[in-house]
Amino acid sequence: MNSGQMLYKKAQNIYSSLVAWRRYLHQHPELSFEEKNTASFVESELRKIDGIKVLAGKEETGIETGVAGILKKGEGPVVALRADMDALPIQEENESIYKSQNFGVMHACGHDAHTAILLGAAHVLADTDSPFSGTIKFLFQPAEEGSDDTGRTGAPYFIQKGLLDDVSMAFALHMDPENEPGSIKLHQGPSMANVDTFKGIIYGTGGHGAYPHLGTDPVWMLSFVLQAIQGVAARRTSPLSPAVISVGEIKTGSSTNVIPEKVTLQGTMRSYDKNTRKHLDKELHQAFSLVESMGGSLELDIEHGEPALSNDQKAVEIYKSVIQETFPTFHILNEPYGLGGEDFGYIAEKVPSAMLFLGAGFSKKENRGLHMPCFDIQEEILPVGVSLLAGSAIYYLNETHE
């Protein structure tokens, strides 16, 4: 039995705890920056593990609901394992015994599983016979899904506090409901998108609906702006550069016979590289500027969120080696994970890192995708996740010492 298989056996031995942790967290989801109960639960569980130094709260992690554990065994480099803890503003539609007890809040992205898996990795790695020399940091990060009034998600707070300053490599994983257990998405380079949001306001004069010629109509101007926006990715961006701009909200007047004075629209922009990101900014400004030739004026604010997740080559190779050693029958899908966002991208900018997507879904006939009210996972994947995170940390530390 190789080391990876030994870690998997240890993870299987705590399967009942993994399920219990995951189900408790699923029943008690909390939104970004509000994860007080979740953080308290994680801190309590970490303090039960001999040999782990626990950091918690703003003073020690940079954010009120942040938790971290530090396990040091001898001299050597430092590797980080990260899980996110926050939930989403979604009303759960599942009728499982562990369904959310918090109205309008749900773990619809698998962060409950991520947190349980990282707790399991801490238990497995703290065993006295776990073969490594060095330091492992367990980062339980709040606020992956949402930003605060400064525009920051959770990862930048950990980075600003210095939790990554001595880290040489970092690993994370994500639930993948599109594929069943036995499949893993693992991709080198840009794998998830830059996430930017925008808010635009088109101003006219408004007026009476029966006399549109006596004023300027921002709704009419909007029609041209929308066409221009939809054409940015389709006709003004290279097909070789993944990119999309989507409008998600439009607000305007409230009467049938009154032309409003303004129209407000908000949306998101996604891209994989910095040049395309700048290009989308420029094109969006040009799209909105069309209103000036029609007698209108505009305001446009663009907020740049998390950067694209770019997986490091060496970190990907380590993950791949651990998968092949521990689960030789698993199918590795070498493909990007889409234009969704992930604030682990901040960590991957700071240190060489890799995130994989772990197949945890049901039959293809069951549509239980990310951010859906019926999202769920097959819990048999929990010990697999534990062994992959723990195995990648040990593999990196032992390889560095060779």
**76's tokens:** 């050597």
Amino acid at 200: G
Residue 318 has a pLDDT of: 98
DSSP assignment string, 278-344: HHHHHHHHHHHHGGGGGT-EEEEEEEE-SPPEEE-HHHHHHHHHHHHHH-TTPEEE-S---S---TH
Helix (H, G, I), strand (E, B) or coil at 250: strand
109/377 Cα distance (integer angstroms): 10
Q: Does residue 331 sit in the same domain as residue 299? A: no
User: pLDDT tens digits for 116-127?
Assistant: 999 999 999 998
Q: How far apart are CA 124 and CA 290, in angstroms?
A: 59
Q: Considering only CA atoms, which of 77, 25, 6, 4 is closest in space to residue 328?
A: 4
CA atoms within 13 A on the CB side of 251: 7
Q: What is the pLDDT of residues 163-189, one digit of tens each?
A: 999 999 999 999 999 999 999 999 999
* pLDDT(212) > 90: yes
Over range 357-386, report the average pLDDT. 92
Distance (Å, whole) CA 271 – CA 194: 5
Residues 293 and 62: their CA atoms lie apart, in Å, by 48
| Statement: residue 129 has pLDDT above 80 | no
What tokens were used for 191?
């794998």
Q: Torsion angle of alpha carbons 106, 381, 115, 86, nearest 10°?
A: -20
Same domain assignment for residues 20 and 131: yes
User: Please, is 292 exposed, middle or buried when counting C-beta atoms within 10 Å of its C-beta (0-12, 13-18, 19+)?
Assistant: exposed
| Same domain, residue pair 295 and 315 | no
Question: What is the β-pairing status of strands 169-176 and 353-359?
Answer: parallel
- 293-310 in b/e burial notation, b at 16+ Cβ within 10 A? eeebebebeeeebbbbbb
User: Does position 283 have pLDDT exceeding 60, yes or no?
Assistant: yes
Instruction: Please tell me whether residues 300 and 336 are part of one structural domain.
Output: no
Report whether pLDDT(383) > 80: yes
Domain shared by 187 and 229, yes or no: no
Same domain, 188 and 202: no
| Domain identity same for 250 and 322 | no
Statement to judge: residues 14 and 163 lie in one domain: yes
Q: What is the span of the domain harbouring residue 162?
A: 3-192+308-401
Residue 300 has pLDDT above 90, yes or no: yes
Q: Which domain CATH number covers 129?
A: 3.40.630.10
Q: Are 139 and 39 in contact (CB under 8 A)?
A: no
pLDDT in tens, 6-32: 999 999 999 999 999 999 999 999 999
Distances in Å between the Cα of 130 and the Cα atoms of 8, 285, 329, 365, 398 are 12, 55, 25, 41, 11
Domain count, the chain: 2
Instruction: Give the whole-angstrom CA distance, residue 154 versus residue 169.
Output: 19
Q: Do both 61 and 168 map to the same domain?
A: yes
Q: Give me the pLDDT at residue 364, please.
A: 74
Closest to 161 (Cα-Cα) out of 388, 368, 347? 347
- How many angstroms from the chain centroid is the CA of residue 285? 28
- Label residue 210 by pLDDT band (50, 70, 90): very high
At 35-55, the pLDDT tens digits run: 999 999 999 999 999 999 999
All residues at 6 or more sequence positions from 97 whose CB lies less than 8 Å from its CB, including other chains: 23
Task: Give the position of tokens 């219990």.
Answer: 20
Per-residue model confidence as pLDDT tens digits over 221-267? 999 999 999 999 999 999 999 999 999 999 999 999 999 999 999 99
CB-side exposure of 20: number of CA atoms within 13 Å?
8
**Do residues 401 and 76 make contact, with C-beta atoms less than 8 angstroms apart?**
yes
pLDDT at 399 over 90: no
Calpha distance 386→81 (Å, rounded): 11
pLDDT > 90: what percent of the chain? 93
**Do 272 and 341 sit in the same domain of this protein?**
no
What the block records as the tokens of 333 is 């899908």
pLDDT at 400 > cutoff 90: no
Residue among 355, 352, 358, 356 nearest 400 (CA): 352
| Predicted pLDDT at 309 | 98
Task: For the sheet with 134-141, list strands across it.
Answer: 52-56, 67-73, 134-141, 78-84, 169-176, 353-359, 183-185, 331-333
Last residue of a domain, one of 271, 304, 337: 304
**Same domain as 96, residue 64:** yes
Q: What is the pLDDT of residue 1?
A: 62
Last residue of a domain, one of 274, 304, 334: 304
pLDDT value at 290 more than 70: yes
| Separation of first and last alpha carbons in the chain | 21
Q: How confident is the model at residue 401 (pLDDT cuts 50, 70, 90)?
A: low
Q: Greater confidence, 228 or 401?
A: 228
pLDDT score, position 367:
76
For the domain that residue 245 is a member of, what is the CATH number? 3.30.70.360
- Which pLDDT score, from 0 to 100, does residue 366 have? 74
The tokens for 214 are 């006596």
Average pLDDT (272-292) is 97
Residues 165, 204: one domain?
no
Mean pLDDT score of the chain, rounded to an integer?
Answer: 96
Last residue within a domain, chosen from 304, 326, 346: 304
Give the pLDDT of residue 402: 55
User: What is the predicted pLDDT for the residue at 363?
Assistant: 78
